[in-house]
Every structure is written in C-alpha cells, then in structure tokens.
Amino acid sequence: MEKGQRMKIVTRTRAGTITGLMVVVLVLAGLALPAVAPRSLIQDLFFILTMLSLAQVWNLLAGYGGLVSVGQQAFVGIGAYAMFAMVILFGWDPVPAVLVGGVAAVILAVPTAFFAFRLQGAYFAIGTWVIAEVTRLLVAQWKALGGGTGTSLPREATSDIMGVELIRTLFDVREAAARDILAYWLALILTVCIIGGIYWLLKNRLGLALAAVRDNTEAARSVGIDTTRLKWAVFLIAAFATGLIGALIYVQTARISPDAAFSLTDWTAYVIFIVVIGGIGTLEGPIIGVIVFFVLQSALSDYGAWYLLTLGLLAIAVMLFAPKGLWGLIAARTGLRLFPVQRRLVGHDINGGK
Amino acid sequence: MTTVLDLIDVSKSFGALKVTDGVSLTVPKGQALGIIGPNGAGKSTLFNLITGNISPDQGRIMLLGQDVTRLPAMKRVRMGVGRSFQIPQPFEGLTVLENLLAAAVYGRGAPEAAVADDCIAILRDTEMLAKANTLAGSLSLLDRKRLELARAMATGPELLLLDEIAGGLTEGECRALIDTIRGLHAKGVTIIWIEHVLHALTSVVERLLVLDFGRVIGIGAPDDIMASKDVREIYLGMEA
C-alpha cells in the first residue's frame, strides 16, 4: 500500500550520471588535446571518431530501426561530393559546406527510401547496395568534379578555412596540422552530437516506438504507432548524419574519388563490423567495437589479406558465441548500462525497482 | 444514450467465402457485449473490420457517430478503439510500464508526462503495478493477458475489444481476470468480448451476440440467448 508517497517514472541511474560526468571530462580533455598531442595521434583520433559516428548511425538504423542497410556509403559519398561541389563550383568555405553534405544526403535518401522500403529484409539490404552503386556510377560522370579519377580541394580553399589561422597561432603549428586539428575538433563535436542526439531520441517517445516496432510490428500498429512514418524518420535522420560525417571526412583528406567516397568496405563493411563486434542495439556497443577495430587495424594493417581475414573470422566468432557483442557480455555479467533508457517506476514496492 | 459503435449491413468475403454477411449492430456507450460462435464463424474477422485491419466489401462502420469505414487502423486507435490480441503480443524488450507508455503516447497522441499517471492507475486496476518494471518477455501467461488488457486500456479507448482473453487460463486465473474486467466495465468502458469460455463471458456481459457463417443468428440478454433452440443447436451442437 502506498501512503501518500507519490510514484514517479525515472530513467536516471547512478551509472548513467557517472557516464554523463565522464563524457563532459573526456570531451573537455579531447578539445584541449591538440595542445600536447602529436599530429599522428590527432589523425588517429579523427579516424576513430568518424568511424564511431558512422557506427552509431548504422546502429540506429539496423539495431533500433531494423533497417539493415548496406548502402550507407551512398550517403558518405554524396555528402562528400556535395561539399566538394560547394567549394569548387561556388567557392564556399569547406566547413559550412559540410552542412550541404548532410542536406544532399537527405535529398538522395528520399528516392532511396521510396524504392528500398518496398523491399524487406535481405532484399532491402541488397536494394540499398544497388542504389549506392548506381549513385557512384552517376557521380563518376560528373566531369567538373574530376569524373572517375576524382579531384582535390583547391589550394586556395584549404589554405583559408575558417579557424585554421587561429589554430596556427594558438598551437604554433603548420597549416596542414592546423587543418587536422580543426577537422578533429569538428569530428569530436559531431560525435558528441550524434551520440547525444540518438540517446535523446531513445529516451523520448521515438525510443518507445522503435522498441515497440522492433519487438512486434503488428502490436505496434494496434496501439497507434505509424510504423511507416517511423521508418522514414529513422532513415532520413541516419542519411543526414551520414552525409555530414562523409563531408567532414573529406574535408580532412582534401582529396576525393568515386571509388574511395562510395567504398562499400570502408563506409559500410567496417562499420557493420564495429557494431556487431561491440554489440548491436546498444549505444555502448559501437564505442567498444571501434576500439577493437582500431587496435586490430593498427596491429594487422601490414599483413594485407590476413587483416581482412582476421576481421571476418572475429566477426563470425562473435556472432556465434556472443550474438549481443562484447558489450552484451559485459552488460549480462554486470547489469551495467552507461546510457540508461529504461523507464522505471519508483516510490512503491515494485519488483526490480531497486 | 450515446452510441459508440454502429455497423450497418457490413459484409466481407475472402474469395468465394462470405465471412461477414450483412451484419448490423449497435453498441450503446457503457455496454458490455459478448460474441460467441463456432470456430470459423467470422468473430475475429468482425473484430478486424471494427479495428480497421481489414476493410469491408459492403456496408458502413460508424464510430462515435463518425463514418470510419475507410479510416486506417492507426487512426481508429486514436479515435478510441483499443484491442487485445488472442495470442498476447507484448513488446517483450520493454518493461510492463513501458508497454503501457508506448500505447498511451501513440494511442492518444499525448506526451509521456501527460499519460504517466493514467498508466500507473491502469497498472493498479489490472493488478500489474507490482510488475511495472518487469520485462514483458518474462511474464507468465496470466500476466501477459493482463498486459494485453492494460495496454489496450492505455490507448484510452472508448471501445475495448477483447479477443479470447480468458482462453488458456486456469480456473483461478480466469476468475482473477474476470474481476479485473468487471472493474473496468464498472468504470463505464464499453466492451466487446469474443470468448469461448462461456461462464466467464456471461458473468460480465449484458448482451450476447451469436455468429454463425458470418451471420448474426441471435442477439439479446445472455440467458435468453443461451436458452434459445437455434443457439443450442448451432453453437452447442445439441439436439434440443
């Protein structure tokens, strides 16, 4: 019996609060890092952050939305090319042009979704892949942006990117290093926004709908959830974020070609590896996955084919023995949730209320 | 008295098979109506016509005085049609509370904060409060049935459709569930209930409808219906 004690619904946990504080500390440390870190570390971290962002977005699509796309390279590529187009054809600064990359990805996502949503499961996956290939072939015809061989950002555009001059005086580094620092900072901010944004979505009504649809589509419809609209929303959000990340990656490399920007291996296969190894359907999983991926890549990249072979075998082993990924193992042992989304009723004698 | 549901000469065929044959029915607000009939009589089809999961070939369906014949299922939920499934379909990865929140937020189109208290009240009414934080996937059959009922209630229904909710329960569990449903009915919820467990049904409903080959072959007070010769022959298979 409750005695005047008001029940309320909470999602906050202690682990979650600690995570929040740690994230703030890590982000501040990450922002200050270029003052002491060598350029190679900044480049490595840029790579890790962008892969982590791509993995989180794919996880939103496949792990939460049930949309197993293997065509995300279409949005990386179109985002990067849109950024290049704004810089080369219209003389924009590359940094604001990154936003155009995101918008271009959404514009491509609308017809992609229109066709791909007619397909289910494996057919959806293949459909997205085919659309990505078609996009690559079309972009390769774009002569103003180098056609099939690609092009570089012009010298005058990269030399006065907004903020680079400030970073040069701040850290006393050369221009190329300053550009890396800028890209790294943007990647850090983007990663925080993407993880924070997805976490916010999951904690709100969209999270309930995604979980409901994941568990039982028919029942989800019977309680008034518009499953079609939900799929569209997730797909368009994912496309926008992927386009932003793609454009940012190519601000840093400053050189583009259709084969690289629309690479299935780099932008989707590795990303799926990261999510599967770490744990699909959790925010923690891709974070662990990207660390494992980076360590493997650093250790094995000199061995060519053995590298890919090891990744493949490891992915198979994890799928067989730990289908919920490495984070799944940890969470099952410890019950730890770094990003709590579960709503709990407290203030009453309730089982599992803790 | 206000009318919640009006079926006007509704028919539906699957190929050559007429599963709903010119059904007309009026359900006033606050009534509990039971539907019985042999397997394949078209009971579940009638539910699917009311919820909008399938649309009729002929006739009109009115909900609260509005023609909803061509309205998709999702919109009818918003208008106040809540249903429970014959085989419980919980959102297994969500807790009991979250199952209700999802239903309330989307079924009523209201923010989470606005429906929270009501969800807690429904948990109490359906005796699921102690299990609020339990994952739906780990519930027993009785609790899954209760969750079906609670989740349907969470959508804020004017009309609650129960599809064989007492089936498969033990005698004691069945009584517990009947008490819960009686409680909801006493609060003025309009109920249409398909059930094979007759004593459960007749202990709650005020009116009974018998369906056979898609046609209404009897409607009235439960006692009169159960006593009628036609019903005994067709439904209970007795030679009167």
Q: From the candidates B79, B89, B106, B159, which should be mutated to test the interface with A, based on the most A CB atoms within 10 A?
A: B106
Percentage of the residues of chain A whose pLDDT score is greater than 90: 76
Q: What is the pLDDT of residue A305?
A: 84
Cβ-nearest to A224 among B74, B116, B123: B74
Q: What is the pLDDT of residue A3?
A: 45
Name the minimum distance, in Å, from the CA of A222 to any CA of chain B. Answer: 7
Predicted confidence (pLDDT) at residue A182 exceeds the cutoff of 90: yes
- Contact state of A343 with B102 under an 8 Å Cβ cutoff: no
Predicted confidence (pLDDT) at residue B163 exceeds the cutoff of 90: yes
Predicted confidence (pLDDT) at residue A351 exceeds the cutoff of 70: no
Name the minimum distance, in Å, from the CA of B93 to any CA of chain A. Answer: 7
Name the minimum distance, in Å, from the CA of A335 to any CA of chain B. Answer: 14
Predicted confidence (pLDDT) at residue A1 exceeds the cutoff of 90: no
Name the minimum distance, in Å, from the CA of B94 to any CA of chain A. Answer: 7
Q: What is the pLDDT of residue B169?
A: 86
Please state, as a whole number, how many other Cβ atoms lie within 10 Å of the Cβ of residue A144.
10
Q: What is the pLDDT of residue B196?
A: 87
Neighbour-count burial of B20, counting CB atoms closer than 10 A to its CB (0-12 exposed, 13-18 middle, 19+ buried) = buried
Q: How confident is the model at residue A110 (pLDDT cuts 50, 70, 90)?
A: very high
Helices of type H across A62-143: 73-90, 94-116, 121-139
Pick from B81, B84, B113, B89: which is nearest to B194 by CA?
Answer: B84
Predicted confidence (pLDDT) at residue A128 exceeds the cutoff of 70: yes
Indicate whether this complex's ipTM tops 0.90. no
Q: What is the pLDDT of residue B231?
A: 78
Which position has the higher pLDDT, A234 or B233? A234
Q: What is the CA radius of gyration of chain B?
A: 18
Please state, as a whole number, how many other Cβ atoms lie within 10 Å of the Cβ of residue B186.
9
Q: What is the pLDDT of residue A348?
A: 58
The arithmetic mean of pLDDT across residues B202-222, rounded, is: 91
What is the signed CA dihedral for A260, A266, A269, A270, rounded to 10 degrees?
180
Name the minimum distance, in Å, from the CA of A322 to any CA of chain B. Answer: 18
Q: What is the pLDDT of residue A306?
A: 86
Q: What is the pLDDT of residue B226?
A: 84
**Nearest C-alpha in B relative to A221:** B74
Cβ-nearest to B94 among A215, A218, A352: A215
Predicted confidence (pLDDT) at residue A94 exceeds the cutoff of 50: yes
CA A296 – CA A225 distance, rounded (Å):
42
Q: What is the pLDDT of residue B234?
A: 72
Q: What is the pLDDT of residue A158?
A: 82
The answer to whether the Cα torsion of A117, A118, A121, A123 is positive or negative is negative
**Nearest C-alpha in B relative to A203:** B112
Mean of all residue pLDDT scores within chain A: 92
Domains parsed from chain B with CATH numbers:
3-234 (3.40.50.300)
Q: What is the pLDDT of residue B235?
A: 66
- Contact state of B85 with A222 under an 8 Å Cβ cutoff: yes
- Contact state of A208 with B94 under an 8 Å Cβ cutoff: yes
Q: How confident is the model at residue B237 (pLDDT cuts 50, 70, 90)?
A: low
Helix, strand or coil for residue B42?
coil
- Contact state of A212 with B77 under an 8 Å Cβ cutoff: no
Q: What is the pLDDT of residue A350?
A: 59
Cβ-nearest to B73 among A222, A343, A348: A222
CA A288 – CA A272 distance, rounded (Å):
13
- Contact state of A352 with B151 under an 8 Å Cβ cutoff: no
- Contact state of B107 with A353 under an 8 Å Cβ cutoff: no
CB distance A94 to A157 below 8 Å: yes
Residue-wise over B80-99: b if at least 16 C-beta within 10 A, else e?
bbbbbbbebbbbbbbbbbbb
Q: What is the CA radius of gyration of chain A?
A: 21
Q: What is the pLDDT of residue B123?
A: 94
- Contact state of B95 with A342 under an 8 Å Cβ cutoff: yes
Q: What is the pLDDT of residue B155?
A: 95
Pick from A245, A261, A222, A225: which is nearest to A56 by CA?
Answer: A245
Strands (E), chain A: 8-10, 151-152, 255-256, 344-346
CA A179 to chain centre: 22
Could you please state the CATH topology (level 3) that the domain comprising A8-346 is classified under: ABC transporter involved in vitamin B12 uptake, BtuC (1.10.3470)
Work out the widest C-alpha separation in chain B, in whole angstroms. Answer: 58
Q: What is the pLDDT of residue A263?
A: 96
Unique residue bearing structure tokens 């099952």: A332
The arithmetic mean of pLDDT across residues B120-126, rounded, is: 91
- Contact state of B91 with A352 under an 8 Å Cβ cutoff: no
The answer to whether the Cα torsion of A315, A321, A323, A325 is positive or negative is negative
The arithmetic mean of pLDDT across residues A192-218, rounded, is: 93
Residue A162 falls in which region: left (phi positive, over 0), alpha (psi -120 to 50) or beta: beta
CA A216 – CA B89 distance, rounded (Å):
7
Q: How confident is the model at residue A4 (pLDDT cuts 50, 70, 90)?
A: very low
Pick from A334, A333, A297: which is nearest to A314 by CA?
Answer: A297
CA A128 – CA A123 distance, rounded (Å):
9
CA A67 – CA A214 distance, rounded (Å):
10
Q: From the candidates A222, A337, A343, A351, which should be mutated to test the interface with B, based on the most B CB atoms within 10 A?
A: A222
Predicted confidence (pLDDT) at residue B80 exceeds the cutoff of 50: yes
Calculate helix-pair angle for B112-125, B141-154, nearest 10 degrees: 140
Q: What is the pLDDT of residue A2?
A: 45
Name the minimum distance, in Å, from the CA of A225 to any CA of chain B. Answer: 6
Helices of type H across B33-91: 43-51, 73-79
Predicted confidence (pLDDT) at residue A174 exceeds the cutoff of 60: yes
Q: How confident is the model at residue B176 (pLDDT cuts 50, 70, 90)?
A: confident
Long-range CB contacts (within 8 A, 24+) of B70-74: B73/A221, B73/A222, B74/A221, B74/A224, B74/A225, B74/A226
Q: What is the pLDDT of residue A26?
A: 95
Q: What is the pLDDT of residue B60?
A: 95
- Contact state of B74 with A225 under an 8 Å Cβ cutoff: yes
Unique residue bearing structure tokens 């209760």: B146
The arithmetic mean of pLDDT across residues B179-204, rounded, is: 90
Report pLDDT digits (tens) over A286-297.
999 999 999 999
Q: For A154, which DSSP code?
A: -
Q: What is the pLDDT of residue B230?
A: 78
Give the bridge partners for A10, in sequence order: A344
Q: What is the pLDDT of residue A92?
A: 93
Q: For B94, which DSSP code?
A: S
**Complete DSSP assignment for A103-125:** HHHHHHHHHHHHHHTTS-HHHHH
CB distance A340 to A16 below 8 Å: yes
Q: How confident is the model at residue A163 (pLDDT cuts 50, 70, 90)?
A: confident
Chain B CB contacts of A205 under 8 Å are 105-106, 111-112
CA B115 – CA B130 distance, rounded (Å):
19
Percentage of the residues of chain B whose pLDDT score is greater than 90: 69
Unique residue bearing structure tokens 């993995």: A55
Report pLDDT digits (tens) over A288-340.
999 999 999 999 888 888 888 888 899 999 989 999 999 999 999 998 889 99
Q: What is the pLDDT of residue B236?
A: 65
- Contact state of B133 with A345 under an 8 Å Cβ cutoff: yes
